Amino acid sequence: MNYKIQLEKFEGPLDLLLYLIRKDEINICDIPIARVTEQYIQYIELMKMLDLDGIGDFLVMAATLLQIKSKMLLPPDPTEVTPQEDPRTELVRRLEEYQRIKEAAEALRLKAEGRQDLFARRSDEEALAEMKEGAKEVYFEANLFDLITALTQAMANKPEKVNYEVVREEYTVEEKVHSILHMLIERSSIRLQELFDNARDKIEVIVTFMAVLELCKMKEVVIAQKRLFADIELVRNAENIVVQQQTVG
């Protein structure tokens, strides 16, 4: 599959660490380094399998985690007078600092959106509004790692092909992009799991996943959840539709 997505468009290695910490409800000051390292490496292996471009920083972080893990396995030096510093201390400091920056950036983004609402603009974010009204719940924007988690679960549920033969490639990312956009013309939202369930094999699951990433990068869709780590839904980006209509006009 000759297709790559630049990971810099989405999240980085610290984002993945924070995602794993939140997902397992871990105390950021007391990270179970062995468990988190194992999960982190599993995500990287999947990124490598998908041939995602730009995972160098993730590999560097994986090496850092392995180094911390090895230090924590070593017995304390009895000759040391002063107690040794926890090997996780520097990583925890980086995570806490990065988390504060992300929270500040999110607060500024929400403030900017609030100011935009003071001006006359098309406010028909219809799909998201319908989802919120129907569920009476707050929606969260999902991220790359939520998508990878959903992909992992979908891949586990798809059987391996018994017969392997050279055939014409059945699926392309471009075709899947158009197919998903066509579905979003007829419907306000699509469950990601529905797209995976309709896939006939693991190859089609992967192509579907790559198409979703491409749509996110193009800002054609928004990926949302009713609650953190819940099922992912794809919604057409209303603001992008406005830009397209203005361009045509």
- Give the phi and the psi of residue 167 in degrees, each rounded to 5: -135, 165
Of 27, 7, 3, nearest to 15 by C-alpha is 7
Q: pLDDT digit string (tens) for 94-114?
A: 999 999 998 888 788 777 766
Q: Structurally, what CATH architecture does the domain formed by 122-249 represent?
A: Orthogonal Bundle (1.10)
Residue 238 pLDDT: 64
**What's the gap between Cα 103 and its chain centre?**
17
How are beta strands 221-225 and 189-191 bridged, if at all? Answer: unpaired
Mean pLDDT of 38-59: 82
Phi-psi region of 219 (alpha: psi -120 to 50; beta: other; left: phi over 0): left
Could you tell me which residue, 133 or 160, shows the higher pLDDT? Answer: 160
Of 200, 58, 213, nearest to 148 by C-alpha is 213
Give the dihedral sign, CA 59/65/71/74.
negative
Could you tell me which residue, 179 or 135, shows the higher pLDDT? Answer: 179
Q: Does pLDDT of 193 surpass 50?
A: yes
Where in the chain do CATH 1.10.10.580 domains reside? Answer: 122-249
Q: Does pLDDT of 68 surpass 60?
A: yes
Q: Which residues pair with 222 in a beta bridge?
A: 235
- Give the phi and the psi of residue 223 in degrees, each rounded to 5: -105, 125
Which pair of tokens denotes residue 151?
């992909």
Residue 148 pLDDT: 85
Residue 149 pLDDT: 86
Cα separation, 66 vs 73, whole angstroms? 11
- As a whole number, the mean pLDDT across the chain is 77
Select, from the ranges 14-28, 50-64, 126-140, the one with the highest average predicted confidence (pLDDT).
14-28
Q: pLDDT digit string (tens) for 138-185?
A: 455 677 788 888 888 888 777 665 454 444 457 788 999 999 999 988
